[in-house]
Amino acid sequence: MKKQHLQKIEDYLWEIPRSYNANMHVPARVYALEGLIDAISSDRSLDQLVNVATLPGIMKASMVMPDAHEGYGFPIGGVAATQYPDGVISPGGIGYDINCGVRLMVSKMRYEDVADRMEDLSKELYKQIPSGVGKGGMIQLNRKAMEDVLIKGAEWAVDKGMGSLEDLEHIENHGCLKEADPATVSDKAKQRGLDQLGTIGAGNHFVEIDVVDQIFHEEAAGAFGLQKGNLAVLIHTGSRGLGHQVATDYIRLMVNAMPKYEYKPPDRELACVPFSSEEGQQYFKAMCAAANFAWCNRQVISWEVCKAWENVFGSYSDCPKLLYDVAHNIAKIEEYTFNGKMEKVIVHRKGATRAFGADFEELPRAFRHIGQPVLIPGSMGTESYVLVGTNKSLELTFGSSCHGAGRRMSRRAAKRQVNAPGLQEQLKKQGIFVTAGSFKGIAEEAPVAYKDVNLVVETVHRAGIALKVAKLKPKAVIKG
């Protein structure tokens, strides 16, 4: 699909009307400044967005955020809500890495005081946090422990001394979806996760040490504990092999089940079933369990960050504190207003972050009056952002925002174009220490492979669905 098929509504909003395709139940909307539209329309993102608009029970519109790019079934950056309880649920609207997400830890340590220790910290983090394809960690779960993780989420790690009860208040859903049922997770999925807690994997996953470079919203920054010149830690990973296997298992199940519900999607990758069906309920419970595994994983990684901090700086007590942890590949049951009445819907977020505004009761008291932190990683070598959600997002985007910069180049193309040793040396000269398991990983995640995160963030800021609070700049990056 080309740019000319889009109708411009606002500087930051475009629409593909229902009349474009007779099978669309709702229009398709694109949140993006004009400078991003060419990149978004260069792959199948918009065609996938139109396909999503044909899903049974879809409400209001199918949407993509400004970091959109082609995904499996749904575009990455996609948001869609279906009617509860009989609208469909689609694994393609969540993704293979269930509850891939981001957490931010904030420090009172000044970068200028420890700038000469960044390379040491980078190496120590790499030592403490296993990374790479299939890489296992120090924690070896037995079957009973695995079931406990799938039920309890981040609380399991806190119970083992890897964090505090206060941490749970600073995680979306307090780090646990109560609908999780380990019985719906296959033995193969459980087996794949037995040694993967506390690991980041490969791809675009990372642990990054940043410095708070700029403050845009003084009140929110104060409530979040962000101070210019201080260090912060971004952690980006998900449910690892366990979540991937859950997605694989249930996509296969739904493909076989769809004829029973007389549904044939425009793309096989959009396999789906009614949420209220036996298959829909099984998948949702398994997805919740995988999401809990991911929250536990990021909690364990935070503990490993603190061990590295202590080994380099000599004090565990100075370890950064958790600001917030958000999922960006997940389905949730939420309530929104339609025609003046509150209704439950099944919100699919795939490469999209929850962005709720002030007075949301789940938030910690310290920033409940401000709104939810929204964490937007850039790419290796470029800035990242902390935003704050707004109540306007509830009206426009089912409480959703972008989740990152968004790829503009495939991993294969990046490997062809990028000289990884040269990039690593170039970043070092800029004061950014990259430690990775392979040059392949560095090349695939080079800044040139991603959209301009500044334009992405500016889009959601102008739309009013999430407002800029602070800009972070990387100083040390750990990758698989």
Q: Which residues does the annotation mark as catalytic?
A: 403
Each residue of 351-371: b (16+ CB within 10 Å) or e?
bbbbbbbeeeeebbeebeebb
Asked if residue 250 lies in contact with residue 73, where contact means CB atoms within 8 angstroms, the answer is no
Q: How far is residue 431's CA from residue 213's CA, in Å, rounded to a whole number?
A: 14
169 forms beta bridges with: none
Eight-class DSSP state of 407: B
What's the residue count for the chain? 480
Report the chain's terminal Cα–Cα distance, integer Å: 35
Please tell me whether residue 237 adopts helix, strand or coil conformation: strand
**Interatomic CA distance for residues 357 and 322, integer angstroms:** 19
CB atoms within 10 A of CB 151: 18
**Rg of the chain in Å (alpha carbons):** 21
Number of neighbours of residue 422 by Cβ within 10 angstroms: 12
Are 350 and 76 in contact by the 8 Å Cβ rule? The answer is: yes
| Measured distance CA(212)–CA(227) in Å, rounded | 7
* Contact status, residue 329 vs residue 191, Cβ threshold 8 Å: no
Give the orientation angle of helix 278-313 with respect to helix 143-152, to 10 degrees. 100
- Three-class secondary structure of residue 263 per DSSP: coil
d(CA 167, CA 80): 30
Contacts of 268 (CB under 8 A, 6+ apart): 255
Q: What angle do CA 219, 222, 228 make, to 5 degrees?
A: 110
Q: Three-state SS across 363-398?
A: CCCCCCCCCCEEEECCCCCCCEEEEEECCHHHHHCC
The three-point CA angle 24-30-33 to 5° equals 160
Phi and psi based region of residue 139 (left: phi greater than 0; alpha: psi -120 to 50; beta: remaining): beta
380 close to 446: Cβ distance less than 8 angstroms: yes
How many Å apart are CA 126 and CA 235, to the nearest integer? Answer: 13
Helix axes 240-257, 278-313, angle to 10 degrees: 170
